[in-house]
């Protein structure tokens, strides 16, 4: 289910969300813009997308191998 998937990624999202926000700010705020509700929603969506993408990469490359090791030595 979607909630179980978010639960598996939650710690990785916690670890990468500040870096994702910083990356998103560097990508979006290269030019000064007037703040609008639409731009706010789009920027927040970009931050969430970057956080989830980073969490998926971290989960696959780091967490899964360590979880396999845990199962082997448990």
Q: How many Å separate Cα 64 from the centre of its chain? A: 17
- pLDDT tens digits for 21-67? 888 888 887 777 788 888 888 888 989 999 999 999 999 999 999 88
Q: How many Å separate Cα 29 from the centre of its chain? A: 19
State the pTM of this model. 0.79
Q: What is the pLDDT of residue 10?
A: 92
Written as one string, the DSSP assignment of the chain is -HHHHHHHHHHHHHHHHHHHHHHHHHHHTTS-----HHHHHHHHHHHHHHHHHHHHHHIIIIIHHHHHHHHHH-
Q: What is the pLDDT of residue 21?
A: 87
Is the per-residue pLDDT at 74 higher than 70?
no
**At which residue do the structure tokens 């978010």 appear?**
6
Q: What is the pLDDT of residue 23?
A: 86
Q: What is the pLDDT of residue 54?
A: 94
Instruction: Round to whole Å and give the CA distance between 39 and 42.
Output: 5
């Amino acid at each position: 289910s979607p909630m179980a998937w978010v639960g598996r990624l939650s710690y990785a999202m916690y670890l990468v969300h500040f870096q994702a926000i910083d990356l998103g700010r560097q990508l979006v705020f290269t030019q000064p813009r007037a703040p609008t509700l639409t731009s706010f929603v789009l920027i927040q969506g970009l931050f969430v997308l970057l956080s989830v993408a980073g969490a998926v990469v971290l989960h696959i490359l780091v967490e899964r191998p360590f979880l396999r090791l845990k199962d082997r030595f448990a």
